Structure 1
Amino acid sequence: MAVMQRQQLGIREIGESVTVPQHNVARAMFYLKCICNVLDLNDENSNLGKFTDFRNYYLLSEADIDALTILIVSVKPAELLGKCLFHDEEICGNSNNKFFELEDVRQNMVIVNDILIAGQQRRVNRIMFFKMAWLQLYCLTPLQVLGERLGRRAAEIEARKRAITYQAAPAYRQQQSTQARPSCHTTSSCCIIL
């Protein structure tokens, strides 16, 4: 039924077929690129380009991968479903996802013009239909893997902080104890209890 409506309205499909490297970082970057294609995210965030260049995923530093993970969490599908992302296996046909110009579908679907993401209003430029396999491959699985990685990295950093504090603590305690120890050189002013 959705395909018939698409043909009757003459909805123009946009986009191209791409090959994404088989790596969770590349897949997460591709997901972000798709979301940037749907939402108006590129205007003030000119540095998003390095996070969406999925073909060069191996150029990201550890800190960049952490930032990518946080970016993906801020544009997770739960916030976008039914607004600019739509699950429809039939419309996608042989593709895993398809993009459509917003003006072409506005007459037949309830589309939100603006979406609140990370506390900021974002304009919806296009809509995307996807298959569940696309969502699993390019968002859910990479987000789980990268989220676990980020959790391990945070735990390692916390352990390093504790180790540094523990190593510094004896010197600090010794310094404090020598300063706080009373001087007991006179016999009349000091009492030692054993």
Structure 2
Amino acid sequence: MFGRQQLQIKRTGVTTTVPNNDVARCMYYLKCVCTTVECDDANILRFTNYNNYWALSDDEDEIVFKLCLALSPDVLDDKVFFHSDALCGDSNNEFYEFSQVRHVITAVRSIVIAGRTRQVNKIMTYTLSWLQNNYLGPMRRLADRFNPERRLIRAMAEADCIIS
């Protein structure tokens, strides 16, 4: 929703290549989160360098997984993440920066994450394929990796299918 004031919107996204690895894709997702909201915590920022996903230990991989759970799209949708194929253009996601925004757009100025108010820097639009490729799919596979009970249930189900 736009008001009477003039609003300047600028695309700011860049093309990137994310390694085909679940942890790397989750780190890229965290990078997108940190691009949209104030993310000045060095402990979180170290988990956004998706090209160096291989340098993380198994425990750090699990931290990435848990950060992604805490910062899920449910928390960010319609605040700083917006599903819009049209606004993504030729890519699967796009970042936008607003200037001279007062009370003229429905995007929020700040968002509360983990009990702390964070300044909104940009918004991101995404396609469903981006969400599937960079959050839903990797998180489902990592949930299996970090939840031994779930792995056992899946293995038993697969074995039951094979035996039948």
TM-score, with length taken from structure 2:
0.81
Q: How far does the alpha carbon of each residue in 1:147-168 deviate from its partner, in whole angstroms, 9 at most, with x for none?
A: 2211128999xxxxxxxxxxxx
Quote the Cα distance in structure 1 between the aligned partners of 2:55 and 2:76: 29
Structure 2 SS opposite 1:51: coil
Report runs of 4+ in structure 1 exceeding 3 Å deviation. 104-108, 153-156
- Percent identity among equivalent residues? 38
Q: Partner of 2:30 in structure 1?
A: 32
Q: Does 1:14 align with 2:12?
A: yes
Structure 2 unpaired stretches of 5+: 153-164
Pick 1 or 2: higher relative contact order, CA cutoff 8 A, min separation 6: 2
**How many aligned residue pairs are there?**
148
Structure 1 unpaired stretches of 5+: 3-7, 157-194
Deviation at 1:35, TM superposition (A): 0.3
Instruction: After TM superposition, list the pairs within 5 Å mapping 1:22-171 onto structure 2.
Output: 22-41=20-39, 43=40, 45-103=41-99, 109-152=105-148
The residue type paired with residue 30 of structure 1 is: Y
Deviation at 1:105, TM superposition (A): 6.3
The residue type paired with residue 135 of structure 1 is: L
Aligned 8 A contact 2:144 2:151 in 1? no
Structure 2 CA distance for partners of 1:91 and 1:135, relative to 1, 3 Å: same
Query: Which protein is richer in helix relative to its size?
Result: 1
Deviation at 1:143, TM superposition (A): 1.1
Quote the Cα distance in structure 1 between the aligned partners of 2:92 and 2:100: 21
Look at both structures and tell me which one has the larger radius of gyration over its CA atoms.
Answer: 1
Aligned 8 A contact 1:12 1:104 in 2? no
Aligned 8 A contact 1:11 1:105 in 2? no
